[in-house]
Amino acid sequence: MIDHLDRICDAAAGRGEQIQRKILEHLGHGHQQKTLPDFTIQRAAELLGVSISRIRALEGSERFPPPRARQAGAIQQRIYNYNEVNRLRELLGERPTRPKTAPPLNITFSNLKGGVAKTTHAIHCAQYLAVRGHRVLLVDADPQATATGAFGILPDIDLGEDDDLSGVILGTPEAIDGIVRKTCWDNLDLIPASLSLQRVDLLIAREPAATTQQLGSPLLRLRRGLGRLVDRYDVIVVDTPPALGMLSLNAIAAANLLIIPIEPHMYSLGSSVQYFRILRDVIRRHRDSIGVQRINMLLTRVDEQSPETQGVIKLLASAYGGMCLTNHMPLSRELQRVATDHLGLYEIEQPRGARETFTRAVQAMDRVNADIFSQIRSLWDLHPDAPAVTDRPSMLDDML
Ligand SMILES: Nc1ncnc2c1ncn2[C@@H]1O[C@H](COP(=O)(O)OP(=O)(O)O)[C@@H](O)[C@H]1O
Ligand SMILES: [Mg+2]
């Protein structure tokens, strides 16, 4: 019987791999560099918080580059993308900054469970901050590499074994210098993940005591590595795998703000209890290594039509009320649709479905990210030289 099973598994793996190769080859041929969406001057003005005529006047002056244009019927229409808006912001002297005395703020999205939208919110949070001019690093610490794929990188084709966090966790902090990648966003960099990250837990468990003594606590290696990048970013966002193994624990130890995305189902309550117990034990054991300043729960994939869901939300609120972010993310067909194309809501020019569905999804995502940003701000405010940050308008309008 065992021999039979062995043969079935072997044959299935072989066939699966063949098909996977074919798909990757196909993708490889059509593999294209990602680009940012274009939008009109109205949207640029809105993002910059200035009037359209102000942008026109600035672009007439020597200091500002002439805008790009596209033909829209009989007229030439000025067009912009997020990078160009950020360049204008720079020239206006309005680039937001973190307090000088504060290191980059580290947000880790974490949950024992998969499918709760950790990756979705890590990506959208990083992009939301980049749209507003912050310097952001997104760290993909999940061997499944979904966030990496969302930036147009195919781990099986584009990455070697040394291109992910493995070297930082198993080797030295300096390994981080070689793995940060530029993306199509000028102010959003990425540390990609690949399946080879899966060996981290096994290799750490087998690490000789002498190596551990030399390299220091295995839990702190990501934090040390990120410490080398302090001058380059305002916010670092880390996406984690659905388990509290060495990768997630490194991400938690590196975090200032821990966000736990949770779906409002009855079984989520049980798994969150389990999560908090494990986290408590880790914190007790590594009291001096964990720098988490705040923990927030984020309700995700909320089915607003379901009375059962409303009941569970009440239960979760009575258990974790103060920790829950004010806004939640509803289930959204549009988010599902764009994710199929490896895109985020902030990256598309044309909605895949009804414009109204898209608008609702973007507004909901904006509200969630504004909540997260107000947490960031309140942590920044703890620093004596915290800069005044002005509110920016919602990420919508004439794109719609
Ligand atoms: N608000 C939402 N509405 C609909 N689908 C969503 C929503 N948030 C996430 N998803 C989808 O749910 C799936 C799981 O999300 P993902 O971010 O990959 O979860 P995790 O990283 O926790 O495993 C993905 O297919 C994603 O596109
Ligand atoms: Mg994920």
Using only the alpha carbons of the chain, give its radius of gyration: 22
Residue 330: C-alpha distances to residues 271, 272, 353 (Å): 21, 20, 16
Does residue 18 fall inside a structural domain?
no
Atom of ligand 1 nearest to the CA of 120: 17
Counting ligands in written order, the one closest to the CA of 111 is 1
Question: Ligand 1 centre and the CA of 154: distance in Å?
Answer: 19
Q: Read off the pTM.
A: 0.90
Mutate to test the pocket of ligand 1, among 110, 118, 120, 365 (most ligand atoms within 8 A of CB): 120
Nearest of 379, 146, 115, 109 to residue 238 by alpha carbon: 109
Q: Are residues 113 and 79 in the same domain?
A: no
According to the model, what pLDDT value does residue 6 have?
75
Does residue 320 sit in the same domain as residue 350?
A: yes
CA distance 200 to 296: 27
Residue with more model confidence, 154 or 232: 232
The confidence band for 30, taking pLDDT boundaries of 50, 70 and 90, is very low
**73: left (phi > 0), else alpha (psi -120 to 50), else beta?**
left
328's tokens: 């939640």
Q: Are residues 78 and 159 in the same domain?
A: no
Ion ligand 2 — residues with CB < 5 Å: 118-119, 146
Name which of 119-123, 315-319, 348-352, 359-363 the model is least confident about. 348-352
Instruction: Residue 119: name the closest of 291, 388, 301 by CA.
Output: 301
Q: How far is the CA of 146 from the centre of ligand 2 (A)?
A: 6
Same domain for 133 and 69: no
* Residue-wise pLDDT tens digits, 34-57: 899 999 999 999 999 999 999 988
Ligand 1 pocket: which residues have CB below 6 Å? 114-120, 146, 242, 300-301, 329, 331-332, 335-336, 339
Q: How confident is the model at residue 25 (pLDDT cuts 50, 70, 90)?
A: low
| Residue 91 pLDDT exceeds 70 | yes
Measured from the Cα of 333, ligand 1's closest atom is 4
Same domain, 292 and 202: yes
Report how many domains make up the chain.
Answer: 2
Out of 116, 272, 336, mutate this one to test ligand 1's pocket (max ligand atoms within 8 Å of CB): namely 336
Helix (H, G, I), strand (E, B) or coil at 236: strand
210's CB contacts (< 8 A; 6+ apart) are none
- pLDDT at position 330 is 97
Each residue's pLDDT tens digit, 253-272:
999 999 999 999 988 888 99
Would you place residue 31 in the very low, low, confident or very high pLDDT band (cuts 50, 70, 90)?
Answer: low
264 CA to centre of ligand 1 in angstroms = 14
**C-alpha atoms less than 13 angstroms from C-alpha of 252 in its C-beta half-sphere:** 29
Q: Are residues 204 and 267 in the same domain?
A: yes
Residue 285: closest CA among 252, 257, 261, 255: 252
Nearest bound ligand to the CA of residue 268: 1
Least confident of 24-33, 193-202, 376-385: 24-33
Q: Whose C-alpha lies nearest to ligand 1, atom 5?
A: 336
Range of the domain at 211: 105-399
Q: Are residues 70 and 175 in the same domain?
A: no
Closest-approaching ligand to the CA atom of 117: 1
Q: Is residue 24 part of a domain?
A: no
What are the pLDDT digits (tens) for 138-189?
A: 999 999 999 999 999 988 888 888 999 999 999 999 999 999 999 999 999 9
The per-residue pLDDT of the chain, averaged, comes to 89
Report yes or no: 146 and 121 within 8 Å, Cβ to Cβ: no
- Inside any domain, residue 26: no
User: How far is Cα 277 from Cα 280, in angstroms, rounded to an integer?
Assistant: 5
Q: What is the pLDDT of residue 399?
A: 29
Judgement on whether residues 65 and 112 belong to the same structural domain of the protein: no
The answer to whether the beta carbons of residues 376 and 234 sit under 8 Å apart is no
Kindly state whether residue 19 falls inside one of the protein's structural domains: no
Give residue 285's pLDDT: 85
